[in-house]
Amino acid sequence: MNAKKILIPIIILIFATLYFSIFIVKEINQAIVLQFGDPKRIIEKPGLNFKIPFIQNVVFLDKRILNLDTPPEEVIASDQKRLIVDAFARFQIVDPLKFYISVGNERVARSRLSTIINSRIRNVLGRQRLQTLLSEDRTKQMSLIQDGVNVEAENFGINIVDVRIKRADLPPANSEAIFRRMQTEREREAKEFRAKGAEMAITITSTADKEVTVILAEAEKKSEIMKGEGDGQRNKIFAGAFGQDPEFFAFYRSMQAYEKALIGGETSLILSPDSEFFKFFGNIKPQTQ
């Protein structure tokens, strides 16, 4: 019984020792084995590993490419124009021992990198004009920023893979002033367009009225000419007919005169019975009472 009581704690101790001695490094990690805070081993390959329990401990570091969003930074360009720059970076821990000694952990590394990136952004972009920062030349400036940040990040065992500007905006006060200026400019252009449109409308209307007047005058002229030619042709026909049979023509003209003078209306005619107007009615004798 006594041997059994002694054996059980020994077995537990052995299992505890094995448990605290074994650690696994995953594919996405690299590990540093520390002994009382001093680095003893660097493990970069994934797999099962051992350490001295209760004396050594393990710090795991990510070996993937990590993202870093820096806080927005106000940059003053060389022409004294202000710009709010929001950048991000991608970095990788390439020297875990130097990383651990210089910054200790990822949280501190991110804070240090944010400060370095923003400082480099101010330094590089501050030497450029605002127009350059908003043009395609901004790619060159980002390369200069990345190279400068990499020089300092090497001291932390970090490699900067990329630095990019997510957004570059004017400060709110400047944006509002520019918006108001653009709005005023658009309103001025709209007024000019409307004035030009009104002027063109008046010109077109007056031109159209002039053309209508000319067309109507030409049409009236042609109408009068045609009417005159028609009257002349009619008179010519009448004259020809009158020449062939003057008596019939006189009779025809008298019938037309009778039609217009005697049919309808309230007009009264007082004529002598032997008037020339009634010569085709024969002898008209006056009535006796």
Full pLDDT tens readout for the chain, 289 residues:
566 667 777 777 777 777 778 889 999 999 999 998 888 899 989 888 888 888 889 999 999 999 998 888 888 777 777 778 888 899 999 999 999 999 989 999 999 999 999 888 888 877 877 776 666 667 787 888 889 999 999 999 999 999 888 777 766 655 565 567 777 788 888 888 888 888 888 888 888 888 888 888 888 888 888 888 887 787 777 777 666 767 667 677 777 776 666 665 566 666 566 666 666 655 545 544 4
Considering only CA atoms, which of 29, 24, 22, 33 is closest in space to residue 56? 33
Distance CA 32, CA 254 (A): 139
pTM score > 0.95 for this model? no
* Secondary structure (DSSP) of 103-140: T-SHHHHHHHHHHHHHHHHHHHHTTS-HHHHTSTTHHH
State residue 29's pLDDT score: 92
State residue 264's pLDDT score: 59
Dihedral sign for Cα 265, 271, 274, 279, please: negative
Distance CA 246, CA 240 (A): 10
Distance CA 203, CA 211 (A): 12
Long-range Cβ pairs for the range 170-179 (8 Å, 24+): 170/82, 170/83, 170/84, 171/74, 171/82, 171/83, 171/84, 174/81, 174/82
State residue 9's pLDDT score: 75
Distance CA 227, CA 102 (A): 113
Distance CA 32, CA 61 (A): 8
State residue 272's pLDDT score: 63
